[in-house]
Amino acid sequence: MTQAPETPPQLVDSHCHLDFPDFDGQQAELVARARAAGVTRMVTICTRLRLEPQVRAIAEAHKGVFYAAGTHPMQAAEEPLAAVEELVALSAHPKFVGIGETGLDYHYTADSAAIQAESLEIHIEAARRTGLPLIIHSRDADDDMAAILTREHAAGPFSAGMHCYTSGPQLARTALDLGFYLSMSGIAAFPRSTEIREIFAAAPRDRVLVETDAPFLAPPPHRGKRNEPAYVAHTARVGAELYGMTLAEFAALTSANFDRLFPKAAA
């Protein structure tokens, strides 16, 4: 008798971009491939608020797909400033589960640092008012990010996830001390990403998430190609090895962590 194929462990892709042009007209196939790989839930992120309706439509069309919306720091100077009330109003949707992504990015857009910080503070206030987690993007801005998060959290607490964490150990400690989560992307699976893996290895296990950031940052064996939610399983295998766990144990751990940070999307 032929043995039935083993069911893969259930994983969550905590951050992807299913509305990006790379995926035009292919969302149903992407979601189906993700499910086949064990990825039963995913959060698709809107990076420009004017595009929120199309991101919302993707979430509404697919079981297990949730969404968040905000203004990406690299677009902060190009887009109108978000209003707290606008973000609060969006949060009423049952599949709207987080605020952002927002943050600071000085890699290409350091010249807009001031408007990025103002935008971040607006998103933080929306996270406070809604009780939804902030989704933070931080690149080459460790000191300013640590200072803003520390100051703002002292003024009024909020929850947050550090998406695609690739910053240094000090910002990681600051974020973890504030009760935030670190999310592991395909970069953590790159052979030369030793420091990033060391940061995750030192983090409390109950504060780790896993994501793709699709269509970007595909992990090996797909590095350099278009990423998609199904590939979160490859990053999860690296995470499992890092913690001395089986893939099933790591999947259960990161799913439980996701449920705590994103209660509206909880299984």
pLDDT in tens, 114-151: 999 999 999 999 999 999 999 999 999 999 999 999 99
- Residue 81's pLDDT is 96
**Which one is the CATH code of 11-265: 3.20.20.140, 3.40.50.300, 3.30.56.10, 3.40.50.10420?**
3.20.20.140
Taking every pair of Cα atoms in the chain, the longest distance, rounded to a whole number of angstroms, is 66
pTM for the model stands at 0.95
For residue 192, report the phi and psi dihedrals to the nearest 5 degrees.
Answer: -90, 5
Within 13 Å and on the Cβ side, how many CA atoms surround 140? 10
- Residue 27's pLDDT is 95
Q: How far apart are CA 162 and CA 171, in angstroms?
A: 10
Q: Confirm if 3 and 32 have CB atoms less than 8 A apart.
A: no
Residue type, position 24, single letter: D
- Residue 261's pLDDT is 98
Q: Confirm if 155 and 124 have CB atoms less than 8 A apart.
A: no
In the predicted model, residues of the chain with pLDDT beneath 50 are none
- Residue 5's pLDDT is 58
